[in-house]
Amino acid sequence: MDPLTKRVITSSLLLFLIVCSYANPTHSSWSACSVSCGDGAKTRSLTNGSIETRPCNMQDCAVWGPWSFLACPNDYLCDAPTFVFETRQCNNGVMCKGASFRAVPNQICPDCFTAADTTATPTSYHDSTTILTTLLTDVA
């Protein structure tokens, strides 16, 4: 075979392989990320039957912060359980699911103790029962 014919056949074969590789790709398109936030995975199928996986992170997930005391109702009794209002903030700049405000029943309002004894101010409504017991014991 002369060199010119060999070159034409080689070029034709190379062109055929290039065209076929574009017409029949060796893989499918990447799937969507498996999660809408946080760490997930994308996959695609290869022509040899295997699956290729790649990590993906769409955005940080929304995370609620802790509940914190907000206020008591105006008509609470200092020596009787009432409800307190609490609030929390959504972190990571994304919308959280659920409420940012709630009323918690059967609590002693921390504001009562500030009026009764300025040295016994609770840091949260969970401390209120302990402070009330201490104040009542000291009075008796």
Mean of pLDDT values over 81-85: 80
The Cα–Cα gap between 21 and 61 comes to 40
pLDDT for the residue 18: 66
- CB within 8 Å of 9: residues ≥ 6 apart: 1
Task: Name the CA radius of gyration of the chain, rounded.
Answer: 34
Site of tokens 């070029």: 11
Mean of pLDDT values over 46-58: 89
Q: Looking at per-residue confidence, does 115 or 66 come out higher? A: 66
The token duo for 9 is: 């056949």
Q: Are 62 and 90 in contact (CB under 8 A)?
A: yes
Q: Which DSSP symbol is given to 1?
A: -
pLDDT at 132 over 60: no
The token duo for 135 is: 């104040």
The token duo for 132 is: 């009330």
Site of tokens 């946080």: 38
Q: How many CB atoms lie within 10 A of CB 33?
A: 17
The token duo for 103 is: 């009323």
Mean of pLDDT values over 96-115: 76
